[in-house]
Structure 1
Amino acid sequence: MLDDAGLRVMELAGKGYCCSQMMVIMALDEMDREDPDLVRAAGGLCNGLGDCSGPCGVLTGSVLALGLYAGKGQDMEEPEEVLPVMLESLRDWFTERTLEYGGITCGAILDGGCGKPHPERCGGLVAEANAKVREILVDNGLDPAEGRELP
């Protein structure tokens, strides 16, 4: 039985979004926001930077999600001091989580099947990473429902 995150991943996949876009959309959902430009930009990270040789979109999308909460977005704004620690925590978790696939690249996770996401493998990673992003935020004193103030 799928939980809410799993159902949302299936819905987004059915609409043609890639893993990196899903991570951004789910973070925006949490904040009750929409940002088509950000979602579109996250599309540049699809399929491991396009040819599956780069990092998995789940990882890069998760990094974008953390940056959405804690990064600098305006001239007078500073990034949250905990951002590097949060990124390290995410990177360490993802590296450990994907050991069974042989690496963090899209190609390794898909076992060489570039451009053809594995529904269970990729969908499961998206749902798990979404939960991990939320956990990292909470552990570092940030509210996943809040996000940064809009200009």
Structure 2
Amino acid sequence: MDNLFLQTMKLYAKGFCCSQIIVMLAMEAEGKKNPDLVRSLGGLCFGVNWSGEVCGALSGGACLISLYSGKGSEGETQDNRCTTMIGDLVEWFTLAAHEEYGGTRCHEILEKYPDRSMCGLIVSETYKKCMDILADHGLQPACHNR
């Protein structure tokens, strides 16, 4: 087990969900805290408001990429690579999730792993992929250790 996985599991033990954890990992690596952002990501928990739809690792990963490349204020513009990077994440996640986890939806994954034993691995692997995608497109978040 690597440190990222252990850190992920500690956040699960504190009651955070996949979509929150994936962004918290990046923020914590940069020494930042943003409870408002983390709270807002709670709306994506368990497939968006406990609906079992899209996996929180994927939706949280899209938010993570957007955190570093999206529009955040009136004076900013979204990086023109943002949608491409999120598309890269969706493509990777879709292939990996169908092969390894039974689907891209929270309820599909939990049908195969009802004890949520795969969730920590999915989140840590998705986090790593997000960091790789950002780096591959020339964005180097301070938290990225490639």
* TM-score using structure 2 length: 0.91
CA distance in 1, matches of 2:46, 2:52: 8
Change (3 A) 1:31 1:94: same
Q: How does 1:34-53 map to 2 (within 5 A)?
A: 34-53=33-52
SS of 2:26's equivalent in the other structure is: helix
Change (3 A) 1:16 1:140: same
Q: Which amino acid aligns with 2:108?
A: A
* Deviation digits for residues 70-111 of structure 1 (CA, Å, limit 9, x no counterpart): 000110100111101100100000000111333211001111
Change (3 A) 1:112 1:51: farther
Indicate yes or no: 2:102 matched with 1:102: yes
* TM-score using structure 1 length: 0.88
Change (3 A) 1:117 1:139: farther
Give structure 1 regions of 4+ aligned residues with deviation exceeding 3 angstroms.
none
SS of 1:93's equivalent in the other structure is: helix
The answer to whether the 8 Å contact 2:102/2:112 transfers is no
Name the count of aligned residue pairs.
143
- Provide the aligned C-alpha RMSD in A: 1.8
Change (3 A) 1:112 1:52: farther
The answer to whether the 8 Å contact 1:30/1:144 transfers is no
Same amino acid, percent of matched pairs: 39
Please list every run of 5 or more consecutive structure 1 residues that lacks an aligned counterpart in the other structure: 147-151
